[in-house]
Amino acid sequence: MTVSCKTVLASKVSASFREQMKKDIKERNICPKLVGFLANDDPAAKKYAEWTAKTCAETGVAFELRKVDKQDLEEKITEANEEKEVNGIMVYYPVFGGKQDLYLQSCVSTLKDVEGLCHKFVYNVYHNVRYMDESETMKCIIPCTPLACVKILEFVGVYNTVLPYGNRLYGRTITVINRSEIVGRPLAAMLANDGAKVYSVDVNGIQVFTRGSGIKLTAHKVEDIDAKVEDVVPLSDVVITGVPTPKYKMPTTLLKEGVIAINFSSSANFEDDIKSKASIFVPSVGKVTVAMLERNLLRLHDYQNNLLEQ
C-alpha cells in the first residue's frame, strides 16, 4: 500500500531561517549574545540547552550556558539584565514549577526576553497587539514554541497567502490539545487572531477561540463549550498535540481524512498509523523553536542598538 502522507521534519522548516540568520549575522559583522540559565537536572532541559548551543554555533550567535543553583537564579537573571554585552536571556524551565516560574519569567528584562514569556509579550499575544511602539517599528516578541507552530503552518501552506496578513487562517478549523500558559493557550490565541476557529482542549474541557462570525472582531474571544474530543477532532483540518506523556495517544480513527498532524510534545502523541490518515505529519517542532529563539535574539539585538525597521 502506498502512503500519501508527507512527513515534514522540523529541521527542514528551520533550515531557511537558519541560513538567513547566518547570512545576516555574517554580512552585518555582528555577534549577538544569548545567555541560557540551567538551574535544574531535567534531561529534556539539558537536551534543549545542547541544541541551543549547537544551533547558535552554526549560525554565528555567541551562546553562554550558565549553570546556577535555583536559589540564586533570580539574582543571576538580574545581573544579566544589566550586562551590556548580553542581548538575550533564556531560562530552561521548569525550575520551581508553578507560579514561581511565572514570576521568574517576568524577572527577565523585556528588551532581553528572547523567549517572549514576560507579561508584556504574553499580554500582547492575547490582545492581538503586534507592535511594541506606536510608530510600529518594533514588532512584538512572540513566545518561541507557539511561533514555531505558526511557522510550520506557514511552511505547509495552512496560511492562505491570497488573504490579507492577519486573516490568513480564515476558514481553517484547528484543534490544539494542550492549554498551558507556555504553549497551548498563546498558540490557540495566535491562531484565532489570524482568523482560525480553534478548539483548545485540556484536561478540564474544551474552549473555542475565534474572532466571531465573519472574523469581525479585532482580537479573539473565548467560549467554553460542552463537547468532547470525539466531537471536535473530526471537524479539524489541523490537529496539534502537546500532551506531556507517552500514554496519551490521539486515536487515528477520529481524525479527518487528509488532516495535518503536528506534535510538539516530547512524547509521540499520535498513533503509529498516523500516516494512513494524515496528508502531512510533523513529528516534532524543537528545531524550529530554537530557530525562533535566535530570530527573537536578532530582533532584540537590533532594538537594543536602535537598528529599527522603517
Measure Cα distances from 221 to 141, 159, 207, 212, 224 in Å: 22, 20, 10, 7, 10
Any contact of residue 182 with ligand NAD (CB under 6 A)? Answer: yes
Are the C-beta atoms of residues 278 and 8 closer than 8 Å to each other? no
Which is the catalytic residue, given 56, 118, 144, 149? Answer: 144
Q: Which amino acid is at 111?
A: L
User: 99 vs 216, which CB is nearer to ligand NAD?
Assistant: 99
Any contact of residue 232 with ligand NAD (CB under 6 A)? Answer: no
Any contact of residue 202 with ligand NAD (CB under 6 A)? Answer: yes
User: 215 vs 243, which CB is nearer to ligand NAD?
Assistant: 243
- Tally of CA atoms within 13 A in the half-sphere of 199 that contains its CB: 24
Pairing of strands 62-67, 88-91: unpaired
Residue 144 a catalytic site member: yes
Q: Is 287 exposed, middle or buried (0-12, 13-18, 19+ CB in 10 A)?
A: buried
Are the C-beta atoms of residues 119 and 72 closer than 8 Å to each other? no
Any contact of residue 11 with ligand NAD (CB under 6 A)? Answer: no
* b/e sequence 37-72, b meaning 16+ C-beta within 10 Å: bbbbeeeebeebbeebbebbeebbbebeebebeeee
Rounded to a whole number of angstroms, the minimum distance from the CB of residue 160 to ligand NAD is 25
Q: Which residue has the cell 514549577?
A: 97
The single residue among 184, 195, 236, 275 that binds ligand NAD, judged by CB under 6 A, is 184
User: 215 vs 262, which CB is nearer to ligand NAD?
Assistant: 262
Any contact of residue 201 with ligand NAD (CB under 6 A)? Answer: yes
> Nearest-5° angle of CA 251, CA 253, CA 254?
75
How many C-beta neighbours within 10 Å does residue 283 have?
16
Rounded to a whole number of angstroms, the minimum distance from the CB of residue 146 to ligand NAD is 9
Any contact of residue 286 with ligand NAD (CB under 6 A)? Answer: yes
Interface with ligand NAD in residues 32-71 (CB under 6 A): 44
User: Alpha-carbon distance 214 to 8, whole Å?
Assistant: 32
Any contact of residue 285 with ligand NAD (CB under 6 A)? Answer: yes
Any contact of residue 178 with ligand NAD (CB under 6 A)? Answer: yes
Q: Which stretch binds ligand NAD (CB under 6 A): 12-20, 71-79, 199-207, 294-302?
A: 199-207
Any contact of residue 175 with ligand NAD (CB under 6 A)? Answer: no
The single residue among 126, 248, 252, 268 that binds ligand NAD, judged by CB under 6 A, is 248
Any contact of residue 179 with ligand NAD (CB under 6 A)? Answer: yes
Rounded to a whole number of angstroms, the minimum distance from the CB of residue 151 to ligand NAD is 12
Interface with ligand NAD in residues 253-272 (CB under 6 A): 264-267
The single residue among 11, 78, 137, 180 that binds ligand NAD, judged by CB under 6 A, is 180
Q: Which stretch binds ligand NAD (CB under 6 A): 12-20, 103-111, 219-227, 236-244?
A: 236-244
Instruction: Output the CA torsion sign for 55, 58, 60, 64.
Output: positive
Q: Which three cell numbers stand for residue 270?
A: 499520535
Q: CB-based contacts of 107: which residues, under 8 Å, 6+ apart?
A: 74, 77, 78, 81
Angle between helices 286-304 and 144-155 (to 10 degrees): 110
Any contact of residue 150 with ligand NAD (CB under 6 A)? Answer: no
> Which positions touch ligand NAD (CB under 6 A)?
44, 145, 177-180, 182-184, 201-203, 242-244, 248, 264-267, 285-286, 289
Active site residues: 144
